[in-house]
Amino acid sequence: MNTKPPNLTYGLEDTPPFPVNVLLGFQHAALALVFIVYPLMLVSEVHGTKSEAEGIVTATILAMAIGTFLQSLGNKGMGSGFLAVQIASPVYLPAAIMAVHAGGLGLACGMTIIGGMFSMMLSRYLKYLRPMFPAEVCGVGVMMLGVSMIGPGVERVIGGSSVPDAGSMMVAFTTISLMVGLSIWSKGQLRLYSAVIGLLAGYAVALWSGLTEPQSVNDLFVDGVLTVPVIHLPALSFDWVLLVPFAIIAMVSSLDTIACIITCQKINEPHWVRAGMKSISDGVLADGLATLIGGVLGTIGSNVSSSHIALSSATGATSRKIARLAALLLLLAAFLPPITKLLANIPAPVIGAVLMYAAAFLIASGMELIVSRMLDTRRIFMIGFSIIIGIASIQMADVIHQLPPTISSIAGSPFAIASLSAIILNLLFRIGTTLNASFAMEPRLESIASALEFLESRGASWGARREVIRKAENAVNEALESLIMMGYAEGRLELQVRFSEYHLDAVLLYQGKPFVFSGVAHQPSQIDNGDEALMRFAAALIGQYADSMTTDMQNGEQRISMRFEH
């Protein structure tokens, strides 16, 4: 991650000027406060008092601030190290509602602590679960994260009813037009502030059109400008009957965070190849700890926000310094009632515009992840069926809502059900697929095409990166042509290939003259000096494709071994 992608103004390790950092941090803090609506829904379920509502708002703000700071660390085993803002998670809401009906807020918070502990434990074993998360499975998850935002986004954009409201649509159109337009066509620093400009313009249009009552602005200073936050620590309780539901929800929340961190990696690494499991594991650990802290303080679980990742990419600012300032601003917001009230009352169409803005980015990023690997019939069906299942959950929403809360919370989430389906189908379709294969051929030039087709089909079945298979095909083609044309191979040749997530090995076995390899390309004038010079030249060409190459003899056979980093 030492090289900053060209589309970023401030990369991961950059330090923006202080005024710029404040505005960028404000954008993220403002967007995070919008998600306070989820814990407030929990209070409304039990007809909580105003004091309880204020307490859960304060607890949520503090938990988001702590979680965001932890995610920005990225050292000593804690945090993903990215600009990954932690928000109150809607994933935890259904299970929390079930718990609050069974035993009040104390039980909901107690079980949230258990969920956080489960995520922390899961984070320590993610490196062993890497085969469950190849690029195409993660791509399905990222794509369905975006798809899952479309419904809530459109509902807010059109005014929350079946009949579109012109005023709501005007507010949403103003917001998203400025956010997208400034992200694409603006120059210099203006692009960095596209989100806050869009949010403020949407808020202003909502006030002008009467969609938002001016009284909501007039009441900002009723409780003063600066107050000490009041935290109502819950009387924690636990019910082991709810252990399985909260463990499942914690796993789904962790999958959400995994997809978000992978997206962060792609944004910040110009030559991203595969998921970096260390930052993912440490990010899920921070996610679980933030959830645990939230339960202790008296709110629902949290996870990394995909909306903020889309915002950081679109504005071209992904510095972790922004995350730390956003965490500080969130912490200050708990002491400043006017800011909390202003941001907590952001008009619904403005929120809808932000969701649509984030959805477009995530859908495209997911598709890019999916097609980054070669796809055979197994992977095509795995991807296709997973997406179909995710979209079907939207179409069958009424049926799914009649299921028990634990099941409906997963089956009703396009992201959760599609991601779980992709993981299960990926493991199922791996049955019968070996990571070692061999191909025997006669030493004839016309046989080379069959060998390359074999390599192509194996790459697709393994889900290998396209560019790696292309390099392997070029190297194998050069080696076979040289062996056959120079008559070095006596009898049949055998191509053996072995694949792992980290490298592809191709080995040519034959009986005959040894393949001379020096790793140095000779000048054209030296090619006429004999067969040996020609073979050295061919070996040097192969070295341009393979990351390493060796030649030796084993069991009476000549062996050419080529390794390609994956």
Quick: pLDDT tens for 246-282.
887 788 788 788 888 988 988 888 777 667 788 999 9
Mean pLDDT (the chain, rounded): 83
Contact 117, 340 (CB under 8 A): no
Q: Which residues pair with 507 in a beta bridge?
A: 496, 561
- Residue 524 clears pLDDT 50, i.e. is over it: no
Lowest mean pLDDT among 118-122, 186-190, 543-547: 186-190
User: Could you report the per-residue pLDDT of 289-337, keeping only the tens digit for each?
Assistant: 999 999 999 899 998 988 888 888 888 889 999 999 999 999 988 887 7
Cα diameter, the chain: 93
d(CA 351, CA 364): 21
Helices (H), 210-276: 215-218, 243-268
- Structure-token pair, residue 551: 């030649």
Instruction: Give the N- to C-terminal CA distance of the chain in Å, as an integer.
Output: 17
d(CA 311, CA 318): 9
Q: Nearest Cα to 539, choosing from 465, 455, 483, 463?
A: 483
Residues with Cβ within 8 Å of 190's Cβ and at least 6 positions away in sequence, in order, are 182, 197
Across residues 514-536, what is the average pLDDT? Answer: 59
- Residue 217 clears pLDDT 80, i.e. is over it: no
Lowest mean pLDDT among 15-19, 20-24, 131-135, 201-205: 131-135
What size, in residues, is the chain? 566
- Tell me what pLDDT residue 223 has: 67
- Tell me what pLDDT residue 480 has: 92
Other C-beta atoms closer than 10 Å to the C-beta of 170 total 17
CA distances from 468 to 53, 136, 224, 320, 473 (A): 55, 16, 62, 32, 9
User: Could you report the per-residue pLDDT of 385-435, keeping only the tens digit for each?
Assistant: 999 999 998 888 888 888 876 677 678 778 778 888 998 998 888 776 667
Q: At what angle do helices 306-315 and 18-34 cross, to 10 degrees?
A: 150
What residue has token string 């779980």?
420
Across residues 202-220, what is the average pLDDT? Answer: 78
- Going along the chain from its start, the domains and CATH numbers come out as 18-129+141-372 (no CATH), 436-565 (3.30.565.10)
- Structure-token pair, residue 444: 């004839």
| Confidence bin at 472 (pLDDT 50/70/90) | very high
Lowest mean pLDDT among 28-37, 195-204, 406-415: 406-415
- Tell me what pLDDT residue 273 has: 66
Across residues 80-109, what is the average pLDDT? Answer: 84
d(CA 333, CA 113): 24
Residues with Cβ within 8 Å of 174's Cβ and at least 6 positions away in sequence, in order, are 198, 201, 202, 205
Contact 506, 455 (CB under 8 A): yes
Which range is most confident: 89-103, 285-299, 513-527, 552-566?
285-299
d(CA 219, CA 345): 11
Q: Which residues pair with 552 in a beta bridge?
A: 559
d(CA 205, CA 202): 5
Q: Nearest Cα to 360, choosing from 318, 315, 310, 312?
A: 310
d(CA 341, CA 330): 13
Q: Nearest Cα to 180, choosing from 397, 399, 358, 441?
A: 358
**Burial, 152: exposed, middle or buried (Cβ in 10 Å; 0-12, 13-18, 19+)?**
middle
Across residues 19-46, what is the average pLDDT? Answer: 81
Of residues 240 and 438, more confidently modeled? 438
Other C-beta atoms closer than 10 Å to the C-beta of 243 total 14
- The kind and range of the H/E element at 310 are helix 306-315
Other C-beta atoms closer than 10 Å to the C-beta of 422 total 28
Cβ density class 336-368: b for 16+ within 10 Å, e for less: bbbbbbbbbbbbbbbbbbbbbbbbbbbbebbee
| Confidence bin at 140 (pLDDT 50/70/90) | confident
The percentage of residues in the chain with a pLDDT greater than 90, rounded to a whole number, is 24
Q: What's the Rg (C-alpha) of the chain?
A: 28
- Tell me what pLDDT residue 521 has: 46
- Tell me what pLDDT residue 110 has: 94
Q: Nearest Cα to 327, choosing from 80, 14, 15, 61?
A: 61
Of residues 447 and 362, more confidently modeled? 447
- Three-state SS for 358-393 is HHHHHHHHHHHHHHCECCCHHHHHHHHHHHHHHHHH
